[in-house]
Amino acid sequence: MNFQIKSFLEYQETYQKSVTNPEAFWAEMAENFVWRKKWDEVLNWNFKDPKIEWFSGAKLNITENCIDRHLADKGDQPAIIWEANDPQEHHRILTYKQLHQKVNLFANVLKNNGVKKGDRICIYMPMVPELAIAVLACARIGAIHSVVFGGFSAQSIADRIKDAQCEMVITADGGFRGAKDIPLKNVIDDALVQCPSVKTVIVLTRTRTPISMIKGRDKWWEDEIKKVETLGLIDCEPEIMDAEDKLFILYTSGSTGKPKGVVHTCAGYMVYAAYTFQNVFQYQPKDIYFCTADIGWITGHSYIIYGPLAQGATTLMFEGVPTYPDAGRFWDIVDKFKVNILYTAPTAIRSLMQSGLDYVKDKDLSSLKVLGSVGEPINEEAWNWYNENIGKGNCPIVDTWWQTETGGIMISPIAGVTKTKPCYATLPLPGIQIELVDEKGQVIEGNDVSGNLCIKFPWPGMIRTTYGDHERCLQTYFATYENKYFTGDGCLRDEDGYYRITGRVDDVINVSGHRIGTAEVENAINMFTDVVESAVVGYPHEIKGQGIYAYVILNDHTEDEELTRKDIAMTVSRIIGAIARPDKIQFVKGLPKTRSGKIMRRILRKIAEGDVSNLGDTSTLLDPSVVEQIKNEKL
Ligand code: 7RM
pLDDT in tens, 280-309: 999 999 999 999 999 999 999 999 999 999
User: What's the pLDDT score for residue 625?
Assistant: 85
User: 402, 455, 476, 509: which to mutate for ligand 1, most atoms within 8 A of CB?
Assistant: 402
Exposure class string for 536-545: b at 16+ Cβ within 10 A, else e: bbbbebeebb
Tell how far CA 262 is from the center of its chain.
11
Instruction: Look at residue 597 in the predicted model and tell me its pLDDT.
Output: 79
Question: Where in the chain are the domains?
Answer: 509-632
Single-letter code of the amino acid located at 193: V
Which residues have any ligand 1 atom within 6 Å of their CB? 252, 297-299, 374-377, 399-404, 425, 487-489, 501, 504, 510, 513, 515
Nearest to 303 by CA among 272, 262, 259: 272
Atom 5 of ligand 1, nearest CA residue: 403
Residues of the chain under the 70 pLDDT cut:
1, 557
Superfamily of domain 509-632: ANL, C-terminal domain (3.30.300.30)
Give long-range contacts, CB 8 A cutoff, 24+ apart: 360-367: 360/328, 360/331, 360/389, 360/390, 363/328, 363/331, 363/332, 363/334, 363/335, 364/335, 365/331, 365/334, 365/335, 365/390, 365/392, 366/392, 367/288, 367/334, 367/338, 367/339, 367/340
Distance 308 CA to ligand 1 centre (A): 20
Q: What are phi and psi of 511, to 5 degrees?
A: -100, 115
- Tens digits of per-residue pLDDT, 414-437? 999 999 999 999 999 999 999 999
pLDDT value at residue 594:
82
Which helix H or strand E contains 165, and what residues bound it? none
Hey, what amino acid is at 34? V
pLDDT at 557 (0 to 100): 65
From atom 7 of ligand 1, which residue's Cα is the shortest distance away?
Answer: 376
Rg from Cα positions in the chain: 24
Find the 345 Cα to ligand 1 centroid distance in Å. 10
Cα angle 204, 151, 250; round to 5: 85
Angle between helices 129-141 and 96-112 (to 10 degrees): 60
